[in-house]
């Protein structure tokens, strides 16, 4: 880390000790501020009406955790559109609603407030402390915030002062005024208040409810429980308890009223729907009856089953008939073939006709008989011919019988087909009939179910209406705290103490922030890198020359320290000509020049101080020496020797001065004359040190004209006098080397400027001239 960075880091460190010391110097301001704040806090607590906290806890029954069959309206609770949840947030908003609070205040007849004047302050009375009650019949808006005074005469009479009239009235007597009509009713506390004056203030219930809504807080106990804490802050505990209790009562009452209204409206709705459904159900039942009568139905399912069975039976019979007809056709075909006239006829298979069976049997017997005869006789044998004739007759009979049977079977088949077609038609109609009947029955079932549902819900609503209870339960009734919550004494006194400290602190801080004067050494260090030679303490003696042979005060010692620092600053180089300047007049250039010269004289050196401030000469006047001849005379004269303008200082042998002389019209031009160099060269031969007291470099450029003739320069900065922005002048001089070896001396250091802790040498508490030093303070080094 470079030397510059180390310097910057050290300069940025906060000197807490010096900051504390700066504020401790004004300890009396902090003491006064604390005392005044405490007195104001005491008076505030004395005359402020204390307020108490009233609280109650209320359990909100949650329908989500099980419906209360007797306490909630369960009708249609199974329908989603009628389901509701008692959200705690919703209940909090209801409890804090303006309409609810207005109803509470109206129920409590809080159109008026009563105040009794005490020794210290006026207090409000309520409830049992009230000497009387006011029953308001009519109240005009002009009465709001109006105060009347009631003077209690005795237990029967009183006098009202309202700015309009002043008359004696009796309790129970109606009083009519331009702003209200009301009646005063005596209360038990009247006997103890006889002869007192009671102030009565009328209120606008709307505004009063807004006020109490702001004072009211409703918060859940925790996230898991459905319990609310209701709190109210009021100056009259009994009044606050009454408001909270009545608030819960009205809240429960409105909840019950809402439930009853819902139940009553539900019953009315159900009755209307039942009446309408009865008519619709009757109409649907008549439609079912007419449809069944029209389609000759009793039970569609059983009749459809019967149709299917009959159709199946007919189909089976038709199959058998078809088989029999096919068999008969086969026999008939067989018999009609010529080659089969002497063959046996096939069996009749499934033919059950007895005549046909007999004929076929006889025919087959004759065929067998013929075949036996032909084995022994010729085909022309008369017996064989006779058998042939019989066979021909039987074939004819069989064919006729076959035709008759076929006709009979065909008729039966046609009848079966007709019957089967009828049943098939019925079967085809069954789905449509069943569908239409199902739609009619569905309507009937829906209306019947809805009818039964509404009957059930009507009974439930009637039960709910008859057994409605509150949806909340009071866990703890309203109670007031024993100690007031407003104002809090400890907090008020603490705030007063902090304000008592804070106001002076802020005053000092703002004053210092707005004051752009140099206050501390760090103001110099942060503004310029110009080395600081030392600092001079405040001169309490008022004398110009404070450095003498016998002086041992802090100011003298600091000049001795600066003298030593000058020797270190020279570092072996010649340092005979020293220029002293500043930013503006009044910073102590002349005072510093004289005493620096005196401190050098005390070391055995010969020193001369030149008053080169040709515009405002102060050197000679400060030492009570006549300024009749001086520098200006020497510079404008060609014959005036240097010895003629030198004047000794009587107080200190070895110290001489050269005054500025008469004020010239062109001081800057005079300083540019070659004789200035001649003057200084001659003085170098006569003196060990030459100190030049010149004009402020921040106002005129005279001092810069002397730069070629000097060995070093000292720039005076006065605490609480030099402006911080003027430090840029010395910084510019240092950076641009406008003066040779510039150094800063801090003048007029006091305790508030950190004197004794910065550059230079001090003696702690006592900084007066001639007093014994009490404490040696650390000295900063020169750089």
What DSSP assignment string belongs to 586-626?
TSSHHHHHHHHHHHHHTTT--EEEEEE--SS--HHHHTT--
Strands 577-582 and 712-718 come out as parallel
Do 447 and 510 reside in the same domain of the chain?
A: no
- The predicted pLDDT at position 223 comes to 78
Do 565 and 706 reside in the same domain of the chain?
A: yes
Q: Higher-confidence residue: 532 or 752?
A: 532
Do 499 and 525 reside in the same domain of the chain?
A: no
CATH of the domain at 582: 3.40.50.300
Question: In sequence order, what are the beta bridge partners of 234?
Answer: 52
Q: Is residue 434 part of a domain?
A: yes
CA distance 72 to 464: 7
Nearest to 68 by CA among 454, 466, 476, 470: 470
Do 528 and 508 reside in the same domain of the chain?
A: no
Q: Is residue 249 part of a domain?
A: no
What DSSP assignment string belongs to 451-520?
HHHHHHHHHHHHHHHHT---SEEEEEEEEE-SS-SBS-HHHHHHHHHHHHHHHHHHHHHHHHHH--B--S
Do 441 and 317 reside in the same domain of the chain?
A: yes
Do 608 and 734 reside in the same domain of the chain?
A: yes
Average pLDDT over residues 133-139: 83
Q: Is residue 764 part of a domain?
A: no
Strands 227-234 and 166-170 come out as unpaired
402, 433, 454 - which closes a domain: 454
Q: Is residue 780 part of a domain?
A: no
- On whether the CB atoms of residues 209 and 216 are closer than 8 A, the answer is no
Q: How many domains does the chain have?
A: 4
Q: Is residue 740 part of a domain?
A: yes
179, 202, 225 - which closes a domain: 202
202, 218, 239 - which closes a domain: 202
Ranking 60-74, 296-310, 405-419, 715-729 by mean pLDDT, the lowest is 60-74
My answer on whether omega of the bond before 487 falls inside 30° of 0, hence cis, is yes
Do 590 and 739 reside in the same domain of the chain?
A: yes
Do 435 and 527 reside in the same domain of the chain?
A: no
Strands (E) located in 14-161: 52-60, 112-117, 122-125, 132-139, 147-152, 157-161
pTM above 0.85? Answer: no
Q: Is residue 782 part of a domain?
A: no
What SS3 state is found at 709?
A: helix
- On whether the CB atoms of residues 694 and 631 are closer than 8 A, the answer is no
Tell me the two tokens of residue 284: 């649907």
- With vertex at residue 31, the alpha carbon angle to CA 28 and CA 34, rounded to the nearest 5 degrees, is 150
- On whether the CB atoms of residues 777 and 763 are closer than 8 A, the answer is yes
Do 388 and 435 reside in the same domain of the chain?
A: yes
Q: Is residue 220 part of a domain?
A: no
Report residue 32's pLDDT band, with 50, 70 and 90 as the boundaries.
very high
- The predicted pLDDT at position 40 comes to 92
Tell me the two tokens of residue 13: 């460190």
Do 498 and 541 reside in the same domain of the chain?
A: no
Q: Is residue 319 part of a domain?
A: yes
Domain that holds residue 419: 300-454
Residue pointed to by tokens 């009568």: 293
Confidence check: pLDDT of 284 > 90 = no
Average pLDDT over residues 545-572: 82
CA distance 191 to 201: 22
Do 406 and 528 reside in the same domain of the chain?
A: no
Ranking 1-10, 35-44, 90-99, 756-765 by mean pLDDT, the lowest is 756-765
Tell me the two tokens of residue 346: 């096939």
Ranking 116-120, 133-137, 196-200, 213-217 by mean pLDDT, the lowest is 116-120
Do 658 and 544 reside in the same domain of the chain?
A: yes
At 369-416, the pLDDT tens digits run 777 777 777 777 787 778 777 777 877 887 777 777 777 777 877 777
């Amino acid at each position: 880390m470079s030397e510059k960075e180390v310097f910057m880091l050290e300069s940025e460190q906060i000197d807490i000790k010096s900051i504390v010391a700066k504020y401790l110097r004004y300890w009396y301001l902090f003491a006064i501020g604390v005392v005044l704040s405490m007195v104001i806090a005491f008076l505030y607590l004395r005359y402020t009406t204390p307020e108490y906290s009233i609280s109650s806890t209320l359990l909100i029954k949650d329908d989500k955790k099980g419906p209360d069959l007797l306490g909630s309206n369960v009708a249609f609770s199974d329908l989603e559109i009628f389901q509701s949840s008692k959200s705690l947030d919703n209940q909090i908003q209801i409890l804090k609603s303006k309409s609810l609070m207005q109803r509470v205040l109206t129920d409590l007849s809080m159109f008026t407030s009563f105040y009794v004047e005490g020794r210290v302050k006026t207090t409000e009375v309520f409830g049992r402390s009230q000497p009387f009650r006011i029953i308001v019949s009519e109240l005009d808006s002009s009465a709001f915030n109006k105060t009347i005074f009631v003077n209690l005469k005795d237990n029967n009479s009183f006098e009202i002062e309202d700015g309009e009239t002043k008359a004696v009235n009796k309790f129970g007597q109606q009083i009519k005024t331009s702003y209200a009509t009301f009646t005063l009713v005596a209360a038990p506390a009247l006997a103890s208040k006889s002869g007192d004056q009671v102030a009565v203030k009328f209120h606008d219930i709307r505004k009063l409810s807004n006020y109490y809504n702001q004072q009211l807080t409703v918060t859940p106990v925790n996230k898991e429980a459905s319990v609310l804490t209701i709190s109210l802050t009021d100056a009259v505990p009994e009044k606050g308890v009454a408001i909270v209790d009545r608030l819960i009562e009205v809240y429960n009452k409105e909840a019950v009223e809402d439930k009853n209204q819902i139940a009553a409206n539900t019953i009315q709705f159900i009755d209307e729907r039942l009446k309408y459904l009865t008519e619709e159900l009757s109409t649907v039942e008549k439609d079912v009856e007419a449809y069944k009568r029209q389609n000759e139905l009793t039970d569609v399912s059983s009749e459809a089953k019967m149709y299917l069975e009959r159709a199946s039976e007919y189909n089976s019979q038709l199959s058998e008939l078809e088989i029999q007809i096919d068999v008969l056709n086969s026999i008939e075909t067989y018999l009609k073939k010529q080659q089969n006239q002497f063959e046996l006829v096939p069996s009749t298979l499934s033919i059950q006709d007895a005549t046909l069976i007999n004929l076929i049997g006889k025919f087959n017997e004759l065929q067998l008989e013929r075949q036996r005869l032909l084995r022994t006789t010729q085909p022309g044998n008369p017996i064989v011919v006779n058998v042939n004739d019989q066979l021909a007759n039987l074939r004819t009979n069989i064919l006729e019988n076959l035709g008759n049977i076929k006709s009979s079977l065909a008729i039966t088949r046609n009848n079966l087909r007709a019957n089967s077609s009828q049943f098939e038609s019925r079967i085809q109609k069954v789905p449509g009939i069943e569908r239409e009947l199902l739609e009619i029955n569905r309507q009937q079932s829906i209306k019947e179910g809805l009818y039964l549902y509404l009957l059930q819900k009507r009974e439930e609503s009637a039960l709910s209406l008859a057994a409605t209870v509150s949806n909340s339960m009071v866990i703890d009734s309203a109670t007031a705290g024993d100690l007031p919550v407003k104002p809090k004494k400890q907090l008020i006194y603490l705030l007063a103490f902090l304000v008592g400290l804070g106001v002076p602190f802020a005053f000092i801080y703002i004053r210092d922030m707005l004051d752009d004067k140099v206050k501390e050494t760090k103001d110099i260090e942060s503004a310029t890198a110009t080395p600081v030679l030392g600092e001079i303490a405040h001169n309490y003696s008022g004398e110009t020359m404070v450095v003498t042979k016998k002086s041992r005060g802090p100011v003298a010692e600091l000049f001795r320290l600066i003298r030593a620092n000058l020797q270190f600053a020279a570092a072996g180089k010649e340092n005979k000509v020293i220029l002293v300047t500043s930013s503006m007049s009044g910073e102590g250039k002349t005072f510093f020049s004289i005493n620096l010269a005196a401190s050098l004289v005390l070391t055995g050196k010969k020193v001369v101080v030149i008053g080169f401030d040709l515009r405002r000469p102060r050197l000679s006047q400060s030492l009570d020496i006549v300024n009749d001849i001086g520098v200006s005379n020497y510079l404008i004269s060609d014959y005036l020797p240097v010895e003629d303008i030198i004047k000794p200082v009587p107080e200190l042998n070895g110290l001489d001065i050269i005054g500025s002389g008469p004020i010239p019209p062109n001081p800057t031009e005079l300083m540019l004359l070659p004789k200035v160099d001649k003057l200084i060269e001659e003085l170098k031969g006569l003196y060990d040190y030459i100190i030049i007291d010149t004009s402020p470099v921040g106002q005129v450029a005279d001092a810069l004209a002397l730069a070629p003739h000097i060995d070093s320069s000292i720039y005076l900065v006065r605490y609480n006098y030099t402006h911080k922005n003027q430090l840029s002048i010395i910084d510019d001089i240092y950076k641009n080397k406008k003066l040779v070896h510039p150094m800063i001396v801090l003048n007029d250091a006091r305790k508030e400027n950190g004197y004794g802790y910065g550059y230079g040498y001090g003696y702690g508490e006592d900084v007066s001239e001639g007093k014994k030093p009490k404490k040696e303070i650390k000295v900063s080094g020169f750089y």
